[in-house]
Amino acid sequence: MLSGYFDHAAAAPPLPEAREAMLPFLGDEFGNPASLHRYGNKPREAIDVSRAQVAALINSRPDDIVFTASASESNNLAVKGFALSHLRAGRGQSPAPEAPQSGTVPGHIVVSAIEHVSVLEPARSLKKLGFDVTEVPVDSEGVVHPDKLEAAIKSDTILVSVMHASYEVGTVQNIKELAAVAHKHKVPFHSDGTAAVGRISVDVADLGVDAYTFPAMSVYGPKGAAALYLKRGTRIPSLIEGGFQEKNRRAGTEDVAAIAGFGAAAAVTRAKLPEWSANLSKLAQRIFNELPQKLDHVIFTGSMSSRVPGHVSVVVEFVEGEAMLLFLDDEGIAAASGSSCSAKTLKASHVLLAMGLPHTKAQSSLVLSLGKDSTDADVTHFLDKLPPIVQRLRRMSPLYAKFQKGEDPYAVKPGDECEEHEETGG
């Protein structure tokens, strides 16, 4: 049990069942699952069992599960894979994207403005190769509205990708409705389910998605394993070539231990999810209810009505997120900040900016992601420790000094805002 750990979205402790399932493949059962001799048998069987366990968690067929090494790889495989499979789609019947003809594009891709960078960056990389990309806006709660999505779809749209739930603000999208909009225009739909799986029940058949991403970490499994669900009949080329693994969809010798742990964790999560989710919702609600009573000028972000259990995101005005994290860490509390600012770039969270928050407020965010073992005592400890930390930081804050003088602390002078990067490295 991890007292004071509120960063399960970044990493979660593997279940004992996951660790136990991994151990044989870190020792005597070291064989390659592709080998025809006896040493390949148990590793190959373990992958088959895990594939069935992972598929059962999201109500898919085992054959529709592609194992990868991370959710980022799964997202890349989905976005780039659909693009590569439609190189000759689009208005101009363009040749390969390295040399698009003038005035033509290989196809059009639609993503939401709050996607994880492992969706946004592949889309932007494809844009450099000639693809057209539209980032659909969200409202102040981080919700993608169906009419906005429909307005973004064009005659040459080849893929829509909208995350199921936000890592940062916890908002759960109506994926079933959004997928129906895409399918109305005969466009395949991908969703990144990293923040949803292990928190809410997921049924890919009911959602109607064509592709769906989630990692082992979402279900208290090990790092190094993830899945991409591909609906039966969906064909995309492999991004990693040179082998026949995963039915030619992802080459390379499998990480059998990580996959075995993934399967075991998925099976436990499937059985325990209702119990875990109820406790997570209860604990998060305590923070929503009690924090404003202990601390003024706090703004909860994301949807309050459609949210993953155990997720709290809040802007604490007049202080920086990173400073709060450091002081909380001194008190034994691990959390995250929506701001990814650094001393060099001072780049604010693209999610909060897309939701309409100014840069200064976006840099004051705190993100708490509770886990299955979180307790009331953990929440009480957090509620006791955060207010004095914030009061101390506000005494040093020029923004708070302006506020106390009756000035607008968020008035921006030219050149003061964080610069947004048009291009970033992957």
Q: What is the CATH number of the domain that holds 301?
A: 3.90.1150.10
Confidence at residue 409, expressed as pLDDT on a 0 to 100 scale: 85
**CA 342, CA 336: separation in Å to the nearest integer?**
14
Identify the pLDDT of residue 197: 98
Catalytic site residue 418? no
- Does residue 421 sit within a domain? no
Q: Of the candidates 274, 280, 318, which has an alpha carbon nearest to the alpha carbon of residue 299? A: 318
Average pLDDT estimate for 254-276: 98
Surface-to-core class of residue 387, CB atoms within 10 Å of its CB (0-12 exposed, 13-18 middle, 19+ buried): middle
Q: What is the pLDDT of residue 217?
A: 97
One-letter amino acid at 164 equals H
Q: How many Å apart are CA 65 and CA 348, to the nearest integer?
A: 35
- The stretch 383-398 carries a mean pLDDT of 96
pLDDT surpassing 90 at residue 296 = yes
**CB neighbours (10 Å) of residue 119?**
26
Residue 254 sits in the same domain as residue 386: no
Q: What is the pLDDT of residue 404?
A: 86
Among residues 179, 336, 341, 368, the one annotated as catalytic is 341
In this prediction, residues 331-340 reach a mean pLDDT of 83
Whether residue 259 is found in the same domain as residue 289: no
Highest mean pLDDT of the ranges 291-300, 394-403, 416-425: 291-300
**Confidence at residue 413, expressed as pLDDT on a 0 to 100 scale:** 64
Instruction: Return the C-alpha torsion angle 426, 159, 54, 309, nearest 10.
Output: 80
Give CA–CA dist 6/16, Å, rounded.
Answer: 20
Helix axes 376-395, 321-330, angle to 10 degrees: 120
* Residues 131 and 200 grouped into a single domain: yes
**Residue ranges in 185-255 assigned as alpha helix (H):** 204-207, 245-248
Both 59 and 169 in one domain: the answer is: yes
For residue 7, tell me if it sits in a domain: no
Q: List b or e across 176-203, with b for residues whose CB sees 16 or more CB atoms inside 10 angstroms.
A: eebbebbeeeebbbbbbbbbbbbbbebe
pLDDT band at 343 (very low <50, low <70, confident <90, very high): very low
Question: Are residues 258 and 177 part of one domain?
Answer: yes
Are 126 and 204 within one domain?
yes
| pTM exceeds 0.85 for this model | yes
Instruction: Give the number of domains in the chain.
Output: 2
Q: What's the CATH code of the domain at 24?
A: 3.40.640.10
Is residue 95 classed as helix, strand or coil in its secondary structure?
A: coil
Q: What is the pLDDT of residue 202?
A: 98
| pLDDT recorded at residue 294 | 97
Q: Is the pLDDT of residue 234 over 80?
A: yes
Confidence of residue 105 (pLDDT cuts 50, 70, 90): confident
Q: Side by side, which strands form the sheet with 211-215?
A: 65-68, 226-230, 211-215, 189-192, 157-161, 108-112, 132-136
HSE value, Cβ hemisphere, 13 Å, CA-based, for 332: 10
pLDDT band at 96 (very low <50, low <70, confident <90, very high): very low
For the ranges 70-84, 266-280, 325-339, 376-390, which has the lowest average pLDDT? 325-339
Residue 122 shares a structural domain with residue 210: yes
Give the domain range for residue 362. Answer: 273-402
Do residues 110 and 132 both lie within one domain?
yes
The pLDDT mean for the chain works out to: 90
Do 252 and 354 lie in one domain? The reply is no
Does any domain span residue 221?
A: yes
Binned at pLDDT 50, 70 and 90, residue 93 comes out as very low
pLDDT for position 376: 97
Q: What is the mean pLDDT of residues 395-409?
A: 87
